[in-house]
Chain A
Amino acid sequence: MLTVVKNQIKVTLLSIKYGLMRQMLNKTTFITNIIFMLLNNASFILQWVILYSLKDNIGGYTFKQVLLLWGFAAGTYGVSHFFFKRVFSLSDIINTGKLDASIIQPKNILLSVITSDVEASALGDLIYGYIMLFICDISISSFLLFTLFIICGGIIMTSIAIIYGSLAFWFNNTEMLADTGNSLMVNFATYPEGIFKGVVKTLFYTLIPIGFANYIPVQVLNDFNVFGLLAVLGVTTLILCMAIAIFYKGLKNYSSSNLMSARI
């Protein structure tokens, strides 16, 4: 069992390494993508600088907390899009029969598919996340907690994408639905929780679980509480298990395709 896990990790890391090598084929594009993502994220902070010059508290968040929220949002996005980029095109992969290559290999199908490419610009998000953290707090404990939370957040975001993507096993044209669902996870993640009320807030702890990926981590890093930490770990495990179960249930409906394709 241990050997199986070890071999799976080896192949996954090799796959990510090869994905990174592909992105690095063009050095200029690779570096530009990362730098532009950093600048893109930084430009959004400007609007918060202006807003906080008018008001000290927005939706229960101080400026420092908003920076931290951005740190978590960028870090979470970075983890999921760098390591599991292909999960965001899972619908297309299923519809065009590109799962075949992974099914005939003696490794975990889902992991093989979603780790078969990386997104260079997501490295910019990851770096940006840590910059935001260091602006707010420099300590080993906050660094470790931040790292743990962005890994959990990345897994939550990836799991949600697996669930949306897996709908393609049962329905046609689900790409747009999956894109919208994934975008919602990103779009709402950078606003203070307090500005949302009622149903919308409930959504953040159910269908669009940014509450567990971003809001609770901000609270825990600000004022440590073990229940918050356990809630994030628990929900991450639960959503991941759900996503895996749905994917493998759907796989039995997989109909492949004879479209010509290349692994690029």
Chain B
Amino acid sequence: MNEEKAIRVKGLKKTFKIKLKEKGLIGSIKGMFKTKYKKINAVNDISFEVDKGEMIAFIGPNGAGKSTTIKMLTGILYPDQGEIEVMGIDPRRKRKQLAYEIGTVFGQKEQLWMHLTPYDNFKFFGAIYDLDERVVEKRINELVELFEISEFINTPVRNLSLGQRIRCEIAASLIHKPKILFLDEPTIGLDPVVKENIRTFIKRMNKEYKTTIFLTSHDVGDIEKLCKRIIIVNHGEIVLDDSMDNLKYHYLNKKIVEAKMKEKINLDDEEGITILKDKGYNLKIEVDTTKRTVGDAIKLLDPDKIVDINISNVPLENIISDIYKSGN
């Protein structure tokens, strides 16, 4: 295995068999005698590599195969085909050995004991990873400082806010100093301020411990602010694997022009210019700079009638959404 690679995946496949049922009670009765199944290719022949210390976003629409892939990488699910190496370990064969190398946070599933305090939970996780008492104490102190959790370290988890809980979940998953951290929607349901805090903590962790971060999220802010590389999956296949800079660069040929006008103007779609929003005095247009210039668009609007104007890049959210829709 390449020493620099944290994750290596080749030709990974996973199929689920779903039971089909005709509608209504009669359908249920028929189903008792003859069951029909449908095969769903949740992950269909995907291959990629992740370098050590890299922060990578692994994203896609619901049902694209993100969680299934993470679950195969962490040993939760058995793949049907393909090769996986996480820190040089095959999760199928050496689950326990792998567990010492990785940390996992599922935003939708709690791993902490709700009735225990974060401190007791950290002690329990320390025991799970066979850490010596003194080592656990030292590690708890480090994590308390890194994630700023001293204020509620002795409050039962069930009494914590969602943001505080997620910080504790991430801290608990780091008790054994994992080399890779899998984060499955870590900021789900959090308010913008807490989201920003969590991102700061993740960045700090990556910087201080050189932890490889494998992130899935529907929040574009998480992806944009944390990751330098992005893999987009759809229908179980990788549709894009590129650096964040490249992704943005390719879409930079489109600009969004938002203008507030003195008086109403009539404007129609032209080649290279698309009207996105027309609310009388307020206009939002998209300019394809490979066909027309931004100057052309401003001329069309009539510069003398413009009260205010804003020219920006296409938001990453729209870029990703376009990729999801187009499929490649």
Residues of A within 8 A of B (CB): 3, 7, 10-11, 14-15, 18, 21-22, 25, 97-101, 103-107, 172, 252, 254-256, 258-264
Is there an interface contact between B110 and A263, defined as CB atoms closer than 8 Å? yes
A104 to B173, CA, bound (A): 10
Is there an interface contact between B116 and A18, defined as CB atoms closer than 8 Å? yes
- Scan residues 171-186 of chain B and give those whose CB is less than 8 A from a CB of chain A: none
- Please indicate the chain A residues that have their CB under 8 angstroms from the CB of B95 in the complex: 103, 106
- Chain B residue with Cβ nearest A23: B115
Is there an interface contact between B113 and A100, defined as CB atoms closer than 8 Å? no
Is there an interface contact between A104 and B99, defined as CB atoms closer than 8 Å? yes
Interface size class on chain B is 20 to 34
A259 to B96, CA, bound (A): 25
- Scan residues 247-291 of chain B and give those whose CB is less than 8 A from a CB of chain A: none
Is there an interface contact between B76 and A14, defined as CB atoms closer than 8 Å? no
Residues of B within 8 A of A (CB): 16, 19, 67, 71, 74-78, 95-97, 99-100, 102, 104, 106, 108-116, 120, 124, 127-130, 158
- Please indicate the chain B residues that have their CB under 8 angstroms from the CB of A97 in the complex: 109
- Please indicate the chain A residues that have their CB under 8 angstroms from the CB of B120 in the complex: 18
Task: Tell me how many residue pairs across A and B have CB atoms closer than 8 Å.
Answer: 81
Partner of A260, one of B77, B109, B116, B127: B109
Is there an interface contact between A106 and B128, defined as CB atoms closer than 8 Å? yes
For this complex, 11 residue pairs linking A to B, each with C-beta atoms less than 8 Å apart, are A3-B130, A14-B127, A18-B116, A18-B124, A106-B130, A107-B96, A256-B67, A256-B71, A260-B109, A261-B109, A263-B111
- Please indicate the chain A residues that have their CB under 8 angstroms from the CB of B115 in the complex: 18, 21-22, 25, 264
A11 to B113, CA, bound (A): 14
- Please indicate the chain A residues that have their CB under 8 angstroms from the CB of B114 in the complex: 262-264
Chain A facing B: main interface SS:
loop
* 9 A-B pairs with least C-beta separation: A106-B99, A106-B96, A22-B115, A262-B110, A260-B108, A7-B130, A103-B76, A263-B110, A101-B111
Is there an interface contact between A106 and B129, defined as CB atoms closer than 8 Å? yes
A67 to B105, CA, bound (A): 51
A263 to B97, CA, bound (A): 24
Most buried by A among B16, B78, B115: B115
Is there an interface contact between B113 and A254, defined as CB atoms closer than 8 Å? no
Task: Give, as a whole number of angstroms, the nearest-CB distance from A252 to chain B.
Answer: 5
A25 to B96, CA, bound (A): 33
- Please indicate the chain B residues that have their CB under 8 angstroms from the CB of A22 in the complex: 113, 115
- Chain A residue with Cβ nearest B112: A263
Partner of B128, one of A11, A98, A260: A11
Is there an interface contact between A107 and B128, defined as CB atoms closer than 8 Å? yes
Is there an interface contact between A255 and B110, defined as CB atoms closer than 8 Å? no
A170 to B166, CA, bound (A): 34
- Please indicate the chain B residues that have their CB under 8 angstroms from the CB of A25 in the complex: 115
- Chain B residue with Cβ nearest A106: B99
Task: Give, as a whole number of angstroms, the nearest-CB distance from A9 to chain B.
Answer: 11
Extra inter-chain contacts (14) besides given A11-B127, A18-B116, A256-B76, CB under 8 Å: A18-B113, A22-B113, A98-B109, A99-B76, A100-B71, A103-B75, A103-B76, A103-B95, A106-B95, A106-B99, A256-B71, A258-B108, A262-B109, A264-B158
